[in-house]
Amino acid sequence: MLSSSPISRPRLAPRPASAPAPTSPSRARLAVGGGARGLVAGVRCQAQAGDMDAHYIRRCVELARKAAGHTSPNPMVGCVLVRDGQVIGEGFHPKAGQPHAEVFALRDAGDSAENATAYVSLEPCNHYGRTPPCTEALIKAKVREVVVGMTDPNPIVASKGIEKLRNAGIDVRVGVEEALCLRLNEAYIHRMLTGRAFATLRTTLSMNGIFINQIGSGADQPGGYYSQLAKEYDGVIISSEMAKTTTLPVSQEAGAKQPLYIIIAQGESSKLHIPSLDEETAANAIVLSDSPVTVEPAGVGVSVLDQMNLDSILQLLADRGLCSVLVDFRDVGGCLASLLNRFQEDKLVQKVVVELSPVWMVSPGPNNLAFGGSESFPLKNVERREVNGTLLLEGYL
Ligand code: AOF
Ligand code: ZN
């Protein structure tokens, strides 16, 4: 890993000073727990309960995001325990192999979880994996209700967690802030359903629509969009040309785990030297090549692929436990262009992030715009953002 610093464990003690306050304290007291729901002002209380359900699931998502980039192949999950309108425990899943969000929240709450409402951004698991089932922990702690953001697409969980809780007499509400929870774990869901890593194509365009090989000056600084992407994505696909000539992308965000570098080598000579890696950081890169190649520094994994195409690469990455990968497209004439030839037809890329650079470039030739498949289509859920002075357009396929 490149300067990977471990994230801190979820807090096991005090309340969230940073939790957004409920819209009004009286609303919190009325709506959550305490048996107010469904009494005299039934309709109003129901509406307020709905507001508070959404509020606490949003807090779960906020907690879950603290582990962004650290959880694959597991999802990001947050959990909040509330009793009598008070948050009594919070937790998030920090890393695969570590306890789940519910366990941290229950530990945080200590003995006071009895009769509490547990909010979880993902359906509690009901299986023995690397850790025991969260459903059993919630039942044992005698929580009264569980509010779930979304069901778990993992076939060994898929709604069985909800069923188990209901069978134990716990009131379960499902689908609160579902769109937000789905977005949080879009990569985990995609990998679970397709067996491929979720791929985002990133590129930079000049004002006259030329693909350029440089990102904006603030983009890779702390808070810059590239630095943030490098923190969130499990891997970054780059060309061997880029690996040979530029510094490998590094996230400057606090607590970031650096992505795995997936270096595509097509038609390379038998030796490939990657100057920005050394013996210590070599294990954080793999070379996928179409012919045998010796990589320097030693320690970089090399796989010679029979078929150099995006589909097999995304499957290989998913098998290695990566949920998400950024395809960093910087070189129109390079090998990534041929990988992207059929990306729409085969639904291999899920998202596109385009940086608009305020420069006018001389066109290197008519081929410049001729990459990216054979179909025209509008992107969905398009967002325009400005991050650290960089203009971004993002959309889904
Ligand atoms: C939850 N809460 O915080 C997470 C869940 O190998 P394990 O034991 O970590 O199990 C991994 C699976 O558990 C993962 O694929 C997903 O279905 C679920 N993750 N469930 O209740 C959590 N991370
Ligand atoms: Zn669990």
Q: Which residue's alpha carbon is nearest to atom 17 within ligand 1? A: 154
Residue 45 has pLDDT above 80, yes or no: no
Atom of ligand 1 nearest to the CA of 76: 23
What is the pLDDT, as a whole number, of residue 389?
82
The CA distance from 385 to 365, in Å, is 30
The winner for highest mean pLDDT among 11-20, 67-76, 323-332 is: 67-76
Res. 369 pLDDT band, cuts 50 70 90 = low
Q: What is the dihedral of CA 81, 84, 87, 92, to 10 degrees?
A: 10
Pocket of ligand 1 (CB under 6 A): 74-75, 77, 93, 96, 100-102, 122, 124-125, 129-131, 134, 152, 154, 157
Q: Which residue's alpha carbon is nearest to atom 3 within ligand 1? A: 100
Is-above-0.85 flag for pTM?
yes
Strands 324-328 and 198-205: parallel
Q: What is the pLDDT of residues 260-284, one digit of tens each?
A: 999 999 887 788 999 999 988 999 9
Res. 333 pLDDT band, cuts 50 70 90 = low
Res. 169 pLDDT band, cuts 50 70 90 = very high
CB of 173 closer than 8 Å to CB of 149: no
CB of 72 closer than 8 Å to CB of 188: yes
By the CB criterion, residues less than 5 angstroms from ion ligand 2 are 100, 125, 134
